[in-house]
């Protein structure tokens, strides 16, 4: 994820009383962080011109249409939630305004999108439980919910025919393992646990039988791992021990790889999804892999490491649908390097 910390275009950054307020925190690498009224840490995100992102995405949409591939943009939320988050005086966050401008342009071009921010409101989800206070990412149950919303869209609008009996999207068919006060996220590590506190971490594992294989690079040899969801997807060392600075969030897959392929031998279908993601897509992709025969995950921040391009990967993998999942802080040239 890219977080901008400069002032919005055409404005001057407001004065920030770092040391006295306990609300604003200067950090060496992450820029200015601030704490909202609920104790959640945020980045200050500038207003950006999303026109280049729109143009690149629309051009890629034409590429997919020419190959009969469905395309869906899924807008993940960030921690500034409409009707809930109260920012401190002097703070600014233009992330949602940037996302609004992007989605408005997609609608004007009749391109498919799913705005999870609006679904949070429509379904009246518990806003307190969606995000970590010390990290910019959503919690594992929120990512699980997001995959179920995506699959509903793939079924209703693209006729994907996934999870016909609803069992995969039913959270009661999973175990939820709680690690209390065990996680200090990237934002919390920047300002210290004494200023941020500690978050609980939840691991979600399917209780039903699973059989998967995973490749962590672009090759056709033996998989890197195979077996159950837990054996294939979960990195247990990131859940072990008492050190809260260990990145528990990455316990699904272990990192943001430029490319991952997951084959699901128990899917009962031959549907193939390509997921173009930022870091929000790590747990989201883990759960999405349970629905389809093949899931190819692409992170454009490392696309050059694959020796190909996104379009080259689409040609190679021949997915039925390409799904973009980005949070509102990902509108930059790197994340929309679609050629």
Contact (Cβ atoms closer than 8 angstroms) between residue 134 and residue 198:
yes
> Which of 298, 161, 332, 118 is CA-nearest to residue 216?
298
- pLDDT number for residue 12: 36
Report CA dihedral (103, 106, 110, 114) to the nearest 10 degrees. Answer: -40
Assigned token pair, 58:
């629309």
* 70 strand-pairing partners: 321
Range 247-255 contact pairs with CB under 8 angstroms and sequence separation of 24 or more: 247/186, 248/179, 248/182, 248/183, 248/201, 249/132, 249/135, 249/137, 249/183, 249/185, 249/201, 249/282, 249/283, 250/282, 251/201, 251/203, 252/282, 252/283, 252/285, 252/286, 253/282, 253/285, 253/286
- Any bridge partners for residue 33, and if so which? 25, 43
Q: Which two tokens stand for residue 322?
A: 């390409």
Contact 150, 72 (CB under 8 A): yes
- Compute CA 258 distance to the chain's CA centroid, rounded to the nearest angstrom: 14
Per run of 10 residues, the mean pLDDT along the chain (length 339 residues) is 35 37 74 92 94 97 98 98 93 95 98 98 97 98 98 98 98 98 96 94 98 91 96 97 97 97 97 98 98 98 91 96 97 91
Per domain, the residue ranges of the chain are 48-326
Expressed in angstroms, the distance from the first to the final Cα of the chain is: 20
What is this structure's pTM?
0.93
pLDDT at residue 26, rounded to an integer: 76
Angle at 333 between CA 327 and CA 337, to 5 degrees: 95
Phi-psi region of 151 (alpha: psi -120 to 50; beta: other; left: phi over 0): alpha
- Residue 217: which residues within 8 A CB-CB, separation 6 or more? 257, 259, 306
Q: What is the 3-state secondary structure (H, E, C) of 152-213?
A: HHHHHHHCCCCCCCCCCCCHHHEEEEEEEEEECCHHHHHHCHHHHCCEEEEEEEECCCCCEE
Q: CB neighbours of 133 closer than 8 A, spacing ≥ 6?
A: 38, 39, 40, 41, 185, 188, 196, 197, 199
Per-residue DSSP letter, 228: S
CA distances from 221 to 11, 211, 215, 217, 225 (A): 53, 18, 9, 10, 12
Please tell me the predicted confidence (pLDDT) of residue 4. Answer: 36
């Amino acid at each position: 994820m890219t977080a901008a910390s400069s002032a919005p275009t055409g404005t001057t950054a407001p004065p920030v009383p770092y040391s006295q307020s306990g609300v604003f925190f200067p950090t060496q690498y992450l820029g200015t962080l601030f704490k909202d009224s609920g104790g959640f840490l945020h980045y200050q995100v500038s207003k950006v011109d999303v026109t280049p992102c729109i143009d690149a995405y629309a051009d890629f949409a034409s590429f997919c249409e020419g190959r009969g591939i469905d395309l869906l943009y899924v807008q993940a939320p960030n921690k500034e939630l409409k009707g809930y988050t109260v920012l401190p005086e002097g703070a600014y966050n233009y992330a949602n305004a940037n996302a609004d401008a992007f989605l408005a342009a997609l609608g004007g071009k009749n391109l498919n999108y799913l705005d999870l921010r609006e679904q949070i409101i429509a379904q009246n989800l518990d806003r307190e439980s969606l995000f970590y206070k010390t990290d910019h990412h959503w919690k594992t149950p929120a990512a699980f919910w997001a995959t179920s919303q995506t699959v509903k869209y793939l079924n209703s609008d693209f006729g994907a025919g996934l999870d016909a009996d609803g069992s995969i999207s039913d959270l009661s068919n999973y175990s939820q393992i709680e690690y209390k006060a065990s996680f200090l996220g990237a934002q919390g590590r920047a300002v210290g646990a004494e200023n941020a506190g500690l978050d609980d971490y939840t691991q979600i594992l399917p209780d039903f039988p699973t059989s998967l294989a995973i490749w962590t690079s672009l090759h056709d040899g033996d998989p890197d791992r195979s077996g159950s969801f837990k054996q294939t997807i979960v990195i247990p060392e990131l859940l072990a021990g008492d050190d809260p600075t260990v990145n528990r969030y990455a316990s699904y897959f272990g990192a943001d790889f430029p490319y991952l392929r997951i084959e699901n031998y128990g899917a009962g279908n031959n549907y193939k999804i390509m997921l173009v993601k930022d870091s929000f897509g790590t747990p989201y992709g883990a759960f999405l892999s349970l629905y389809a025969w093949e899931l190819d995950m692409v992170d454009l921040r490392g696309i050059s490491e694959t020796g190909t391009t996104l379009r080259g990967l689409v040609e190679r993998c021949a997915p039925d649908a390409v799904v973009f999942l980005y949070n509102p802080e990902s509108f930059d040239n790197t994340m929309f390097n679609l050629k």
